[in-house]
Structure 1
Amino acid sequence: MTAHQPPQTVRANGIDICYEIFGNDNAEPLLLIMGLGAQMIHWDDAFCEQLATHGFRVIRFDNRDIGKSSHLTGGKRLTPLELLKLRFLRIPVAATYKLIDMAKDTVGLMDALGIKSAHLVGASMGGMIAQEVTLSFPQRVRSLTSIMSTTGNPRIPPPTREAAAMLMAPPPRSKEEFMVRFGQTWKVLRAGSFPEEEALDPGRAERVFARGLNPAGVGRQLRAVLASGSRKERLHAVTTPTLVIHGTVDPLVHPEGGKDTAASIPNAKLLMIPGMGHALPMRFWPEIIGAIDKHAHGAAARAA
């Protein structure tokens, strides 16, 4: 059975960060960084356990403004007009913090846990944060895996109309509305038929709701993404071994976002998964975990 340390909270970069560890203390450290508005439990327990069996000390955590980590204050809900001004007039979006601050949270967590360097695996906004850690703190990153993410390049095609509407929808006003919205949201993001996932969604929604919602925090996270600009030119200087994973039918971050990430980082490997949207369904785990395993352990072997 995989070793497991239950959720704990630690002070890092001036905030409280909730984290959880799967795997042995002497295994290769691997941090999982989740995306916009998603708690650490969106990295499924079984996904973390399977990664740990491949020789990793898997650490998942709640980003700032989500789950059991610190909830900040300030900022207003993003408006469609602001998005239009950003997209067409390049007028910056105001933000309480940016991705670099979330990158510093990640490094602060590593410091608190006594981890000098680690493999980083980030999904969506988590991939952006992982890229920013790699750019700003390269000595702390053993390997980078960027999943269903992008460079911030404004030329990447936008989300589908359905995914964009979901992103800009007002927050649910009750638990019942949240439960319905959760299932609807993930059906859009998966972009296909996944009955085995839909059967688990009510239980997942219950668990997310029980840990606490923070709609204002999700808004601040979205502003952080939009205010941080493009990393494309800076990524040309990355020497960290990099793997980019993206689904061919991603409705939220266009597949070109993954291709652009791989094209921007020298020697990056690109894995496009047919039929995968903006989610990590169980049927794709063998391919995803296998790719992370090969990539991270390969990077560790070359560095030894």
Structure 2
Amino acid sequence: MPSVISATDEQFTTVPGGIRLCHQSFGSPTDPAVLLIMGLGLSMDWWRDDFCRSLAARGFHVVRFDNRDVGRSTHVRGPGISAWGFLTRRARPVYTLGDMADDAAGLIEALDRRGAHVVGASLGSTVAQEVAIRHPSRTLSLTSVMGRPGDGTGTVSWRMVPEFLRPPSSDPVEGMVASFRRIGSRERTPADDEDVRVTMRRSRDRETGDGTGSGRQLAAIVAERDRTADLARLTCPACVVHGLDDRIIRPSGGRSTAAAIPGAELVEVPGMGHDLPHRVWLRLIDAITRTAARAST
């Protein structure tokens, strides 16, 4: 049962480029690796423990990690992006999504030379796509969740633009709850809100940065390239999971991603917004498992 699968202590690996990544794993290292890549400004804690245990129970060695500029991984220096830069889609990023993908690929190389099934959500989905493109020998399969290919589809709904421009809340925990109510799935429950509170407190306790990292990550997103042509050359099995009620990366982004990758499966989830509430976990775990099975055959 998933409840008996324990997590390792947090570990640190320095990848090429000098970035030190904090990571943790669930399950046996002899099982095929699944690398989970989280979204904008969110630590690995947002891949919830029970989600990781449930995925490991399917026969995977599940690895989650803090991206650069998040949690206990290396925090770099430099400007993020201004409100005007975000609105005009102009950014001069300190680093690119490709750099973040190289971080992830370096972690795969350090932990499992066989490669990994790469899964990314939101910002993590674009990084996962870049991992598959830039490091095909380390990518056994790709599952892109709440993503887009950088071709102009899936852009944020204009009424959601203020979400990226809000000043920090005086109560970061309740501010995050309110944010997920605005951007998340339909019919969120009090249990969903409490889950955000617990995860946000845990994430804040682990945070070692000064709060500017999300701005640098956002600049990397705004400066993303069109990956469509490179996605068309992928040969690994792929699955695209997207919520039909996503207002941050609209469903057209998921459809374009799936259309770009040869043989990709598209899973559209009614009622799902830009979040991963408990009720979508089984759909996502099934999708990852199916896609990995395609790789093994």
Q: Is the TM-score greater than 0.5?
A: yes
For 1:110 and 1:144, the matched residues in 2 are separated by 14
Tell me the equivalent position of 1:137. 135
Identity over the aligned pairs, expressed in percent?
37
Please say if 1:228 is aligned against 2:224: yes
Match of 1:260 among 229, 250, 256: 256
For 2:14 and 2:154, the matched residues in 1 are separated by 38
Offset at residue 157 of structure 1 (A)? 4.8
Offset at residue 162 of structure 1 (A)? 4.4
Q: Per-residue displacement from partner, 1:160-216 (whole Å, max 9, x unpaired)? A: 3443211221234x5xx2122111111122142221211322222211211125431
Offset at residue 3 of structure 1 (A)? 4.1
Q: Per-residue displacement from partner, 1:108-149 (whole Å, max 9, x unpaired)? A: 112222433110011011111111011111111110000011
Task: Report the TM-score when normalising by structure 1.
Answer: 0.92
2:34–2:61 CA contact under 8 A, matched in 1 = yes
Tell me the equivalent position of 1:22. 26
Cα 1:116–1:299 change in 2 (3 A) is closer
For 1:158 and 1:112, the matched residues in 2 are separated by 35
Counterpart of 1:281, as a letter, is P
> What SS does structure 2 have at the residue aligned with 1:27?
coil
2:155–2:253 CA contact under 8 A, matched in 1 = no
Match of 1:34 among 23, 38, 46: 38
Q: How many residues in Structure 1 have an aligned counterpart in Structure 2?
A: 291
Match of 1:71 among 72, 75, 80: 75
For 1:221 and 1:114, the matched residues in 2 are separated by 27
Tell me the equivalent position of 2:88. 85
Deviates more, 1:46-55 or 1:162-171: 162-171
Task: Report the TM-score when normalising by structure 2.
Answer: 0.94
2:31–2:59 CA contact under 8 A, matched in 1 = yes
Structure 1 runs of 4+ aligned residues shifted over 4 Å read: none
Please say if 1:249 is aligned against 2:245: yes
Cα 1:4–1:200 change in 2 (3 A) is closer
For 1:202 and 1:160, the matched residues in 2 are separated by 26
Q: How does 1:193-232 map to 2 (within 5 A)?
A: 193-195=187-189, 196-212=191-207, 214-232=210-228
Tell me the equivalent position of 2:15. 12
Counterpart of 1:193, as a letter, is E
Counterpart of 2:188, as a letter, is F
For 1:36 and 1:18, the matched residues in 2 are separated by 16
For 2:82 and 2:237, the matched residues in 1 are separated by 38
Q: How does 1:111-126 map to 2 (within 5 A)?
A: 111-126=109-124
